[in-house]
Amino acid sequence: MLLSFPHMHPELFPADVDGVRFFDPGMAEEGDSFFRPEGLPLNKKMATALINDCINFGEQFKDPSEMAYFGAISADDFYEGSTMSIQAQLTRHFEDMQGGKQERENQEAASRAQFILLLAWTFEEKMMELASIEKGVKKSWKSMDDTLGVDEEDRLDDRVVELGNRESHTGGVSDEQQVQLPWQRIVEALPAFVPQDTVLVCTDKEILEVWDDLGIEFVEGGKELPEGALVATLPAWKFAGRRKEPLKMPHSLTKMTVAIIR
């Protein structure tokens, strides 16, 4: 199976690659382009509650750079630093399970991996929402310019004071800046749910540059891969750029195959 990486929504995948599917952590509507694994530990109701709890947690930060800290740390550190209700919900959920200690620990590890993917899914939804707002705001300013008779020459010559100078800072829009997903956490969480023959397909230039800096060697693959793709197979934690194995994150020890298209 070819699986988009790191994006989970077809609208955000920048390449035209036949057969690529998109990971669904349990939130998507039905669709042939999505892959939802069976037996996800968190159902949609609980997943939604956890996401809402996390959003409420994020709203306490006045400075977005403070919240950005949590995108760069491990899942364990995130739980230790975030609101206790997130950790408590997961702990209670798995303490009530039937089965032995090891089984409960495995399920909890899987739930944490799913939670990371749920956060990434929600992040993408918010980015698409902001992009839509920005598009609407710019369209409205353009319509106002047309109504006022402001043309492109007026803009370039600065002969008028045009309200559009503020358009990209209205309503929280993104000013066309791209905020990168915490892809290092995503690549470590995916092995918990994808089949062994899964190939992650990545075209993101910034991610490819990171892998180049890490010295990861990509070579020619089989005929079943997209044209021009190069592949590498390594434990997920190496793609995430870690220096050593994160023993508390067992899924990240699994080998993954990544295909890159430059």
The predicted-structure confidence for 41-52, as pLDDT tens digits, reads as follows: 888 888 888 888
- Residue-wise pLDDT tens digits, 129-150: 876 666 655 555 555 555 655 5
Q: Which of 143, 127, 129, 239 has its CA nearest to residue 184?
A: 239
> What's the whole-model pTM score?
0.73
Residue extents of the structural domains in the chain? 2-125+179-260, 129-169
Mean pLDDT of the chain: 77
Highest mean pLDDT among 132-141, 162-171, 251-260: 251-260
In this prediction, residues 73-102 reach a mean pLDDT of 54
Q: What span, in angstroms and rounded, lies between the C-alpha atoms of 89 and 104? A: 14
Q: What span, in angstroms and rounded, lies between the C-alpha atoms of 75 and 185? A: 8
| Residue that wins the pLDDT comparison between 231 and 105 | 231
The pLDDT-based confidence of 70 (bands split at 50, 70, 90) is very low
| Residue that wins the pLDDT comparison between 73 and 256 | 256
Residue 211 in this model has a pLDDT that exceeds 60: yes
Q: What span, in angstroms and rounded, lies between the C-alpha atoms of 56 and 20? A: 34
Give the angle subtended at the CA of 231 by the CAs of 216 and 2, to the nearest 5°: 130
Residue in the structure block whose two tokens are 């995916």:
190
The pLDDT-based confidence of 171 (bands split at 50, 70, 90) is very low
Assigned token pair, 46: 């609980």
In the prediction, which pLDDT does 74 show?
43
Query: Could you tell me the strand order of the sheet in which 219-220 lies?
Result: 34-35, 20-23, 2-4, 199-202, 255-260, 230-235, 219-220
- Residue-wise pLDDT tens digits, 14-39: 878 889 999 999 998 877 899 999 98
In this prediction, residues 69-85 reach a mean pLDDT of 46
Residue 260 is which amino acid? I
In the prediction, which pLDDT does 28 show?
87
